Structure 1
Amino acid sequence: MLEHYVVFRPLPGREPELAAALAELGAGLAGGVAGMSDLTWGANTNRSGLDRGFTHGCLGRFEDRAAFDRYWHHPAHERFMRALDAICEDRFALDYLSASAP
C-alpha cells in the first residue's frame, strides 16, 4: 500500500482557510477514486510540529502508484493544490510503501 502523508504550514491567520480547503478536498473525492482506500485530515496536536508552524496534516492510502496517480489528477485534488499556493507558506509530503510488523 502506498501511504501519502502531507503536513501544512499555513500563512499566519490562514488556518481556517486551510481547514476548509481540506474539507472541500474530502467532499470533492466523496464519489471515490479507484484504488484509494482512505483519506483523512485534521488539525495537528503534536507540539513538535506545532512549534514549527505545521498546523494540519492529511493522509491518503492507495493500493498502488496507479491509484495515487488517479487521485493526483482528480479535479478535486487539482483545485486543492491551486488553493494551497495562496494559503500555505510551506508544506511537504512523505510517500512510502507501508510495511507491517510481523
Structure 2
Amino acid sequence: MLEHYVVFRPRPGKERELAEALAALESGLAGGLAGLAELSWGENTNRSGLDRGFTHGCLARFTGPEAFGRYWDHPAHERFLGVLDGICEDRFALDWTSGATA
C-alpha cells in the first residue's frame, strides 16, 4: 500500500472552509477510483499538532504508485488543490509504502 497523509494548518477563520473542501474531495471521489483503498479525513484531536495550528488531517491509501497518479490527476483532487492556498497557511504531506504493494 502507498499511504498518503496530509496535515493542514488553515488560515484564521478558515477551518470550516477547509472541512468543506475535504468533504468535497471525498464526495468527488465517491464514484470510485481504481486503486483507492481508503480515504478518510477529520479534525485533529492531538494537542501537539493543535498547538502548531494543524487542525485537520487526511489519509488516502492506494494499491500502488499508479493509483496515486490517477488520484493526483483526478478532477476532484485538482479542484481541492485549487482552493488550498486560499484556505491554508501551511500543509505538508507524508508518503510511505506499507506492507506489500500491489
Q: Output the TM-score relative to the length of structure 1.
A: 0.96
Per the alignment, residue 57 of structure 1 pairs with 57
Give, in whole Å, the separation in 2 of the partners of 1:51 and 1:65. Answer: 33
Per the alignment, residue 96 of structure 2 pairs with 96
Render the CA deviation track for 1:37-89: whole Å, top value 9, x for unaligned: 00000000000000000000000000000000000000000000011010000
Q: Which runs of 5+ in 2 are unaligned?
A: none
In structure 1, what residue type is equivalent to 2:30? A
Per the alignment, residue 83 of structure 1 pairs with 83
Give, in whole Å, the separation in 1 of the partners of 2:99 and 2:63. Answer: 13
Q: Which runs of 5+ in 1 are unaligned?
A: none
- Percent sequence identity over aligned pairs: 72
Give, in whole Å, the separation in 1 of the partners of 2:99 and 2:80. Answer: 29
Instruction: State the Cα RMSD in Å.
Output: 1.0
In structure 2, what residue type is equivalent to 1:40? S
Shift of 1:2: 0.2
Q: Output the TM-score relative to the length of structure 2.
A: 0.96
Structure 1 stretches of 4+ with a deviation exceeding 4 A read none
Q: Please list, as runs of the form range in 1=range in 2, the aligned pairs for 1:7-18 lying within 5 A after superposition.
A: 7-18=7-18
In structure 1, what residue type is equivalent to 2:95? D
Shift of 1:98: 1.0
Aligned length: 100
